Structure 1
């Protein structure tokens, strides 16, 4: 399991955080997700490929830098 960080634009509320968490957990139900909305940072501990996780976030409508 590795820790990956994503800069995610567009998270403005708690609902946004939950949507991002749900998207990540669809790819990896065991993922540990920490979100710092103030700095647009999403930290994920997962065994999944970084690009798969980023794509899941993008599919929710957020921009991954």
Structure 2
């Protein structure tokens, strides 16, 4: 299992978190999602085949911007 952290911009409330969670949950290989509008962080855990670009695209489809945290 791998864990990747992203910084998300544009989130302001719990509804934002829910929208991102729903989109990222559809990414193949994702097992766990933690997202917080207060910290602007998204943590995704899953198998090694989870593609960062697919997670970023899912966040964008929800209407937000994401970049992998260093």
The normalised TM-score by structure 1 is 0.86
The 5-angstrom pairing of residues 16-27 of structure 1 reads: 16-27=16-27
Flag the structure with higher helix content: 1
Structure 1 regions of 5+ residues with no counterpart? Answer: none
Matched residue, 1:58: 60
Cα distance, 1:29 vs. partner?
Answer: 6.9
- How many residues align? The count is 65
Q: The residue matched to 2:15 in structure 1 has which SS?
A: helix
The 5-angstrom pairing of residues 8-23 of structure 1 reads: 8-23=8-23
RMSD over equivalenced CA pairs, Å: 1.5
The normalised TM-score by structure 2 is 0.81
CA distance, structure 1, for counterparts of residue 14 and residue 7 of structure 2? 17
Tell me if the contact between 1:30 and 1:46 (Cα under 8 Å) persists in the aligned partners. Answer: yes
Cα distance, 1:49 vs. partner?
Answer: 0.7
Cα distance, 1:64 vs. partner?
Answer: 1.1
